[in-house]
């Protein structure tokens, strides 16, 4: 029991229907701790007041996107044991919005009785791409072939494995710990740190399947979302929901996602990124145990948003319908190239005139090139019109200085 004050006990005793013995109900002044205060946390916070849940956020930045929205904001490191441990002692339940956190502190908090979801065990598996990949292999979850490597010299020994992707075990984010090694000449630039080499997959499409599992083991899977790549830059251009992959492939992908959740026995939301090969194989690239960039559109376009679903899952509540209300697309608003400093948005008025375009800004006052400043979710029943609107949105809004 982590509440030593007996005077508080009555309030904290179980309420019928709430699954955690010895805990107050989520609607009774319940403090949900969120480790990480970025845009994913910001949108998770926005789902909380409807459940009368108050939010307590930890982030190293005093101007983090959650700063002004959290019921209570703590500034501090996510990777420091004492900071995370002490933060955990102030809340009734802990969740994360980024996986690069101090897991030892989470284990200790869990041991002392604090519900921590996703479980520290799951975060630990996913935090290190080496462990994560091995987990897929051990559980017969299809994933591109890989070898573990300790350093650059080790990669030289595996030159025959190229072309491959070289991925850092820990610490990579938003593509920062990933690079393609096409031929042995590229090995000079390989990461000189523990990581892996993963076979280069000449994929037909890249999709993402979000799913949630609650503490009773119920699973709900969202329809697959597709990343549409820019034909010239080979960067993700926008996301489309639902994916245009065949029903058979989507069903395969959804079954694989379900399997990953069940094997992980995760409580919470999991985003499973996958490759669809040209021969119709579905391979898991990686997973994230939290709300994900590929699920923003669920706020407007699905019966239940990914954020509310995560909340339902960790609170042990029935999961919501994942069905799509309307086809949608999501375009990131990135800081314009060559612009650093206090942000100014161009084209806002024009953007807001586009029927079905929904603006989400992340509260970041400073822009820099390619920084994720916000996104736009676009809804349209008609796929062609939807894609035309995507092009219109991309031309309209700009984060400049």
Ligand X SMILES: Nc1ncnc2c1ncn2[C@@H]1O[C@H](COP(=O)(O)OP(=O)(O)OP(=O)(O)O)[C@@H](O)[C@H]1O
Q: Enumerate binding residues for ligand X (CB under 6 A).
A: 144, 165, 167, 172-178, 198-201, 206, 273, 285-286
Smallest gap from Cβ 226 to ligand X, in A, equals: 12
SS3 10: helix
Do the beta carbons of residue 41 and residue 65 sit within 8 Å?
yes
CB of 178 to Mg ion, least distance (A): 8
Q: Within its chain, how far is the Cα of 125 from the centroid?
A: 15
Residue 120, binding choice from Mg ion, ligand X, none, Cβ under 5 to 8 Å by partner class: none
Based on CB atoms, which residue is closest to ligand X, 292 or 368? 292
Interhelix angle 247-264/129-138, nearest 10 degrees: 110
Q: Do the beta carbons of residue 313 and residue 117 sit within 8 Å? A: yes
Q: Which of Mg ion, ligand X, none lies near 178, with the C-beta cut-off 5 to 8 A by kind?
A: ligand X
State the minimum distance, in angstroms, from the CB of residue 358 to Mg ion. 24
Cβ atoms of residues 176 and 193 within 8 Å: no
Which of Mg ion, ligand X, none does residue 177 bind to, with CB < 5 to 8 Å depending on kind?
ligand X
- Residue whose CB is less far from ligand X, 310 or 312: 310
Residue in the shown chain whose Cβ atom is closest to ligand X:
201
Q: How far is the CB of 68 from ligand X (least distance, A)?
A: 25
Nearer to ligand X, 137 or 383 (CB): 137
Considering the complex, what minimum distance in angstroms separates the CB of residue 292 from Mg ion?
A: 9
First to last CA, the chain: 51
Q: What is the C-alpha separation between 24 and 296, in angstroms, rounded?
A: 30
Task: Identify which of residues 167 and 310 has a Cβ nearer to ligand X in the complex.
Answer: 167
- Name the residue nearer to Mg ion (CB basis): 267 or 293: 293
3 state DSSP class of 38: coil
Taking the complex as a whole, the smallest distance from the CB of residue 258 to Mg ion amounts, in Å, to: 20
Contact partner, 399, from ligand X, Mg ion, none, Cβ < 5-8 Å per class: none
We find the least distance from the C-beta atom of residue 142 to ligand X, in angstroms, to be 13
Residue with smaller CB distance to ligand X, 92 or 286: 286
Whole-number minimum distance, CB 271 to ligand X, in Å?
Answer: 9
C-alpha 253/C-alpha 209 separation (Å) is 7
**CB 120 within 8 Å of CB 107:** yes
Residues 229-288 close enough to bind Mg ion by CB under 5 A: 273
273 vs 380, beta carbon nearer Mg ion: 273
What distance in Å separates the CA atoms of residue 71 and residue 131, rounded to the nearest whole number? 35
**Binding partner of residue 4 among Mg ion, ligand X, none, CB cut-off 5 to 8 Å per kind:** none
Report how far Cα 351 is from the mean position of its chain's Cα atoms.
Answer: 26
Question: What residues contact residue 269 under an 8 Å CB cut-off, 6+ apart?
Answer: 210, 211, 212, 289, 290, 291, 292, 295, 306, 309, 310, 313
Q: Which does 242 bind (CB under 5 to 8 A by kind): Mg ion, ligand X, none?
A: none
Cα–Cα dist 349/174, whole Å: 30
Site size toward Mg ion, by CB under 5 A: 1
Binding site for Mg ion (CB under 5 A): 273
């Amino acid at each position: 029991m982590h509440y030593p004050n007996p005077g508080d006990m009555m309030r904290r005793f179980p309420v019928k229907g709430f699954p955690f013995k010895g805990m107050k109900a989520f609607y009774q002044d319940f403090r949900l701790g969120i480790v990480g205060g970025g845009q994913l946390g910001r949108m998770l916070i926005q789902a909380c007041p409807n459940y009368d849940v108050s939010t307590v956020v930890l982030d190293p930045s005093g101007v983090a996107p959650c700063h002004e929205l959290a019921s209570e904001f703590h500034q501090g490191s996510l990777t420091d044991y004492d900071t995370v441990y002490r933060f955990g002692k102030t809340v009734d339940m802990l969740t994360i919005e980024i996986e690069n956190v101090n897991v030892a502190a989470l284990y200790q908090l869990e041991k002392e009785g604090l519900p921590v979801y996703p479980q520290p065990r799951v975060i630990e598996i996913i935090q290190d791409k080496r462990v994560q990949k091995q987990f897929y292999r051990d559980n017969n979850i299809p994933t591109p072939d890989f070898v573990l490597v300790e350093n650059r010299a080790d990669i030289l020994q595996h030159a025959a494995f190229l072309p491959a992707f070289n991925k850092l075990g820990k610490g990579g984010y938003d593509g920062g710990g990933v690079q393609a090694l096409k031929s042995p000449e590229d090995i000079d630039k390989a990461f000189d740190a523990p990581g892996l080499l993963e076979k280069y997959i000449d994929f037909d499409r890249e999709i993402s399947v979000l799913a949630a599992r609650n503490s009773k083991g119920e699973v709900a899977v969202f329809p697959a979302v597709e990343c549409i790549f820019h034909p010239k830059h080979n960067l993700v251009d926008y996301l489309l929901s639902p994916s245009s992959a065949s029903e058979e492939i989507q069903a395969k992908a959804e079954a694989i996602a379900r399997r990953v959740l069940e094997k992980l026995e995760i409580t919470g939301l999991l985003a499973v990124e996958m490759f669809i090969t040209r021969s119709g194989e579905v391979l898991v690239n990686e997973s994230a145990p939290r709300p994900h960039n590929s699920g923003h559109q669920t706020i407007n376009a699905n019966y239940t948003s990914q954020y509310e679903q995560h909340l339902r899952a960790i609170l042990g509540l029935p999961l919501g319908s994942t069905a799509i209300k309307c086809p949608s697309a999501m375009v990131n608003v990135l800081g314009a190239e060559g612009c650093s400093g206090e942000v100014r948005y161009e084209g806002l008025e024009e953007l807001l005139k586009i029927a079905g375009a929904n603006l989400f800004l992340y509260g970041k006052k400073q822009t820099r090139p390619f920084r994720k400043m916000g996104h736009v979710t676009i809804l349209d029943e008609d796929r062609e019109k939807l894609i035309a609107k995507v092009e219109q949105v991309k031309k309209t809004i700009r984060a400049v200085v």
